[in-house]
Amino acid sequence: MRAALVAAACGAAVTAAARRVARFRPPEVHPDPADLDGLDAEAAAERLAELVRIPTISSRTPGEVDTEAFELFRQRLTELYPETHRVLEREVLGDGALLYRWSSGVDLPPLVLMAHYDVVPVAGQKWSRDPFSGLVEDGVVHGRGAIDDKGALVAVLEAVESLVAAGVSPARDVYLSFGNDEEVFGVGAQLAVEALGARGIRPWAVIDEGGAVVRGVFPGVPRPTAVVGLAEKGLLDVELITTDAGGHASSPARGGAPARLARAITRIDDHPFPARLHDVVLGMVDALGRHSPAGYRALFAHAEYLRPALAAVLSRASREANALVRTTVAITQLEGSKARNVLATRARAHANIRIALGETVQSTLERLRRIVDDPEVELRVVAGNDPSPVSRADNEAFALIGAAVRSVYPDAAVAPYVMVQASDARHFSQVCDSVYRFMPFDLSREELATLHAADERLSVAALHRGAGFYRYLIRHL
């Protein structure tokens, strides 16, 4: 009797699993294709190239910022997009953040489209072309900021300019928030949030830089995948400091300040934070797994029950996948003695930490202290913030983003994900539960690798499709 019951239970479990796999299929969606009328790909590329030529390089040291370049950039926007500046209201916030309002005449929560126009430095990088030449060659715009983030800014303005010129009014107000200090964790986006808050405005949805349309990043899914960030990891900068009496290098003592610091760094490297499959990552597995071949699909259909195993698999799949499932620690700076023949009285390392969803600055520090396990190593917090709240993926705003993606990338699978970098979007999470991080560009692994590195570039075709994405989004509000 017991054997019969066990067999029946096993048979029922197998049947339930088979049904789960059979239902684990991508949804049938057929969005309208994007209306690209009024969008000139080559002209957009030339406008992006002109803006790339303006070196709006950010710095935490005010005296190192070329304020004339930033002013020239803002002036050129008014000349390159005259219809936008004729119809939309424009404010300059703080040292140069831009906030535009496209009035609809309807009292509904607005859509906010974000970008930033400051860029990171190029010093020490080996570029094959002048990073500020704005060269358009073989269907590609070359230069610092082409992707991050002047490309998105131009795509937004191309869409708005074309719609304004066609006499289109949005169904709800549209705000454009363009930051001038995102790369140095500045206050431009905060000022925009404060300006809207002072007017009692809570956005319907916010879209900023983040995920993109990529290939080959998810096991068994060869088709393009559009990953839309629902949240971003927290950021914590910590200095590890050790001190010692010092002295002449000719008579060193064992266990000096650099040695203790090196031991702490090695312990951090040998004891990574645990890998966990957060609900957002589980949502990505669910969405993309439906597009995988049968064998993979059988696995991903049961992801909810296999969280620890899948977290372990993802942590070993790639550097990018590993960053999705755990808090990461990168040692980015080291400092010891100022002279070659003098023992260090102080040794310092800087740890740049990206905090996984579900953890906090406090819990991260506590774990780091346990890992280092040395009271003589001081952990000094430079700056830090917890992970952002998780935005909704069950509402009209997320559905509209998916439709807009498929209007220009009809073969793309759309999925939520966790953004591992920091962005200005985190400030808007204070006033909106639908903050999304997505750049509507199809980017190769090689192109993604140029972010903050040499030879940054964006194809003219991707820029054109990005403008089509924003145009669809605005027309279907």
Residues 417 and 286 reside in one and the same domain: no
- Tokens 């080959």: give the residue: 216
Distance from C-alpha of 206 to C-alpha of 177, rounded to nearest angstrom: 10
Residues 89 and 181 reside in one and the same domain: yes
CATH classification at residue 264:
3.30.70.360
Residues 360 and 267 reside in one and the same domain: yes
Q: Quote the mean pLDDT of the chain.
A: 91
Distance from C-alpha of 200 to C-alpha of 443, rounded to nearest angstrom: 38
Residue-level pLDDT at 326: 95
Residues 168 and 51 reside in one and the same domain: yes
Average pLDDT value for residue range 391-409: 95
Establish if 8 belongs to a structural domain: no
Residue-level pLDDT at 59: 92
Closest C-alpha among 404, 285, 293, 320 to residue 35: 404
Closest C-alpha among 346, 342, 332, 418 to residue 382: 332
| pLDDT tens-digit map of 354-371 | 999 999 999 999 999 999
Residues 340 and 300 reside in one and the same domain: yes
What percentage of the chain carries pLDDT values higher than 90? Answer: 76
Residue-level pLDDT at 13: 42
Establish if 30 belongs to a structural domain: no
CATH classification at residue 148:
3.40.630.10
Establish if 15 belongs to a structural domain: no
Which domain-ending residue is among 355, 385, 415? 385
Number of helical (H) and strand (E) elements in the chain, helices listed first: 16, 17
Has residue 122 got a pLDDT over 90?
A: yes
One-letter identity of residue 133: S
| Dihedral of the alpha carbons of 369, 350, 272, 311, in degrees to the nearest 10 | 120
Q: Are 257 and 336 within 8 A, CB to CB?
A: yes
Distance from C-alpha of 185 to C-alpha of 410, rounded to nearest angstrom: 35
Q: How many domains does the chain have?
A: 2
Residues 373 and 395 reside in one and the same domain: no
Residues 351 and 299 reside in one and the same domain: yes
Query: Facing residues of 115 across strands?
Result: 178
Residues 264 and 164 reside in one and the same domain: no
Distance from C-alpha of 389 to C-alpha of 357, rounded to nearest angstrom: 9
What percentage of the chain carries pLDDT values higher than 70? Answer: 94
Residues 354 and 263 reside in one and the same domain: yes
Establish if 261 belongs to a structural domain: yes
Query: 80 lies in which domain range?
Result: 41-220+388-475
The residue count for the chain: 477
Which domain-ending residue is among 331, 366, 385? 385
Of residues 227 and 221, the one with the higher pLDDT is: 227
Distance from C-alpha of 271 to C-alpha of 273, rounded to nearest angstrom: 7
Residues 417 and 327 reside in one and the same domain: no
| pLDDT tens-digit map of 50-59 | 999 999 999 9
pTM: 0.90
| pLDDT tens-digit map of 59-102 | 988 888 999 999 999 999 999 999 999 999 999 999 999 999 99
Residue 20 main-chain phi, psi, to 5 deg: -60, -45
Has residue 8 got a pLDDT over 50?
A: no
Average pLDDT value for residue range 412-427: 92
Residue-level pLDDT at 2: 56
Establish if 3 belongs to a structural domain: no
Residues 75 and 210 reside in one and the same domain: yes
- Tokens 């071949």: give the residue: 293
Residues 202 and 262 reside in one and the same domain: no
